[in-house]
Chains A and B, each alone.
Chain A
């Protein structure tokens, strides 16, 4: 490193200390932005907001959204966070960042200057570039319309509460929340539409309904609409995995405003969908970049040793990974795994071993910036791990697979970090981040439009895993409330046999 030349050009290290002020934050941001540009990070414009810890707790409760509609479940989340924060079980997240354009990052008042720099690098450049680049985010969220939509949602919910009563609205929202996980389109891309257009459309819809309303029709004798002529016997023709969408569109019972509420919940679920699919990558990417950017600042002598010590202290905490049998183990830490994989990718490019050349012939010796950028853009957790988890990392983390077979009295260690195990460890870990592995496969298969109006869902039993009985009953009750007629859930084995039927009747 030709430090002397660099130092001559630099105005010397940035000041450092526990106290920050606005000017210092601007200076740090400028330095980080400049460094990020060296690495060609492409981001939305940044907006950094300073808040205090109470506001952070508020933001936390609303899943980080700056605006939310009122609902008791957010109160519950708030109480829980507040409780553990006050008792000191849990520090607050250092940062919250919102996938919108401009990308909003919150800095907490109580943080030291070093922490603020870390958060700026992590959130405003790491997460921000991920939001802008990753394919899932590009497909499923309109960053520029999100804040507008949140405002619309909040106002709409509050308007409904005024008009129909709080209890009514709460009931509908409760029921929709129970189906939130099943309110996601995984393939379609929602048409971009702004809140204003949405509102305009809604009023237009209401207006045309009003205009077309004619009381005469009520008096026409025997005027039952011609019964289904060309309807196919089974509706929907294809199983539908977006249950909430199906309910919103076809429920025989819901009033228009209730449909709109279902839609709001669905939109939120959709908004969070990419985040649930990219936790490891997103955090790994952001952590990798705060680490890389701040180290680069250090190399340029823009920050001093004291800064680095404090930064590394926090960084190490964030990426700590405990062994399965150690105290404080809470599963694989997405920050640790993601960061290790990103670092490993860079290593494979810059300093490949023989093994890497065999496993990753295309990557070894490549341009790490391009490789990482490609990975960030085109993968989600499941495919990212399946593609890039290297044997070396499996060894480093000493990963092993435990299999649990129904009927066996004991668990078995199926694979460990050896030649025979690498591929399977990688596959199982990748599967773990697959949506199907967490959520039972449940789809709408039948709606008796012309019969008793009952709705039938099908649960495809995967590897003999049963549903949680109490919760399933609860969810069916909620679904029934939205549907208004009998709701049935059939659990079907892989062979196509109906093994069990749960039912809710009004």
Chain B
């Protein structure tokens, strides 16, 4: 007697609950790992899963066990050369050699490694940034979708019925099916006319008349509209974003920008990049760093190459303008700029920069975001901040923020997000 049951359609992922509990329990480890990932990855590769290592000691489930030491006997298979009384040096790597037949439990594995999925990674990344939930889903969603017309299909919902197309098909069908009958009918009519002309016997004429009527009947019985004629408009889902955008990442790399500030800046750029990849099909990144002079560099150099020197903000702004003019015509590109600095600007630089931003850059860009990373929260407002502050509120596409921890980055974008959302 046997029952055979197909359980394949039952819920999979029964372990999801337990996996999630594991992740919650080791959140601290995982957060640390995510932080490292954020530091190591380039902005464009940010959004993917990654490996998390948790020290095996921390995830172990303890129990009373033997440690090393004491007397042990073990049985092993596959003796080739030993005879009773042979002495063997203790295997290196410590521990007892004769634990018996089990492989050294947990001895060789120092780390418990597991892979964080893309979603889990993003969740923790966003956690740090204190992103509102709505925003999370908007950003984490794999791709924006759009319904696009894609011809006609024979099945669909009544609301998608295409009347002209249906009528056309019906007409075609009627012509096609009616063709032979019509030919016969013409023939029969001709015959009848001829018979009438030639005064043939009444019986034959009657037979011909019957035939004509019958053929006319068949023609009439062809349905005007048949199920097979129905045509529906077809729509397919396509990834939506179609436009291009470029993000200018401007950063002050003078000596006062330490690792912490750079990390904040990186998260800031990443968030902007993430947001823009949702909106646009193609997003390019341009990295401009500056000390007292600005240069365009690749991402690695941007974040990790130490430079020393003074600070002239204006140089970076001018370089950006030059690059826009040379490579990113406004008609083809949506231009975004994100500037990170600790705000140290000397003399007239701050004032000039602010003016340059207002007069030259803001008209070009869709959005210009500035974050300042002060030494600590109570630090005095920097000269650049003071100058920029005049623009805030006046210019609709400018936002600025002082940020000393990752959670403060998001508000810079809040306005941007809500505006973009409002535009739909």
Contacts and interface: CB of A to CB of B under 8 A. Distances in A.
B26 to A, nearest CB: 8
A229 interface: no
B150 interface: no
A415 to B, nearest CB: 6
Interface residues of B, number: 65
Interface stretch (A90-98, A140-148, A417-425): A417-425
Nearest to A441: B64
Contacts of B62: 178, 470-471, 474-475, 478
Contact of A78 (B15, B24, B77, B101): B15
B15 A409 contact: no
B12 A58 contact: yes
B21 A475 contact: no
B2 A73 contact: no
Interface string B9-34: 01011110111111111000000000
A119 to B, nearest CB: 13
Interface stretch (B81-89, B259-267, B349-357): B81-89
A135 to B, nearest CB: 24
Among A22, A54, A78, the one with the most B-chain Cβ atoms within 10 Å of its Cβ is: A78
Given A47-B3, A75-B19, A400-B79, A420 B14 contact: no
A361 interface: no
The DSSP consensus for interface residues of chain A is: mixed
B88 A467 contact: no
A109 B80 CA distance: 42
A329 B80 CA distance: 15
Interface in B1-59: 1-8, 10, 12-15, 17-25, 57, 59
Contacts of B86: 412-413
Interface of B, secondary structure class, is: loop
Interface residues of A, number: 98
A432 B75 contact: yes
B61 interface: yes
Contacts of B25: 72, 170
A475 B66 CA distance: 13
Interface in A18-60: 22, 25-26, 29, 33, 45-52, 54-55, 57-58
A180 B63 CA distance: 8
Given A109-B8, A432-B74, A472 B64 contact: yes
Contacts of A71: 18, 21
B65 interface: yes
A323 B66 CA distance: 26
Contact of B18 (A72, A418, A432): A72
Contacts of B70: 406, 461-466
B67 interface: yes
Given A55-B7, A75-B19, A398-B79, A83 B113 contact: yes
B14 A58 contact: yes
B115 A83 contact: yes
Interface string A417-454: 11011000100110110000101101000000000000
B88 A432 contact: no
B112 to A, nearest CB: 7
A444 to B, nearest CB: 13
Interface stretch (B90-98, B208-216, B319-327): B90-98
A330 B22 CA distance: 28
A48 to B, nearest CB: 5
Interface of B: 1-8, 10, 12-15, 17-25, 57, 59-80, 82-90, 96-98, 100-103, 112-115
23 contacts: A26-B2, A45-B2, A47-B5, A48-B3, A48-B4, A51-B10, A54-B13, A62-B14, A75-B15, A321-B77, A322-B77, A330-B103, A332-B77, A398-B78, A404-B96, A405-B71, A410-B87, A415-B84, A418-B84, A464-B71, A468-B66, A471-B64, A474-B62
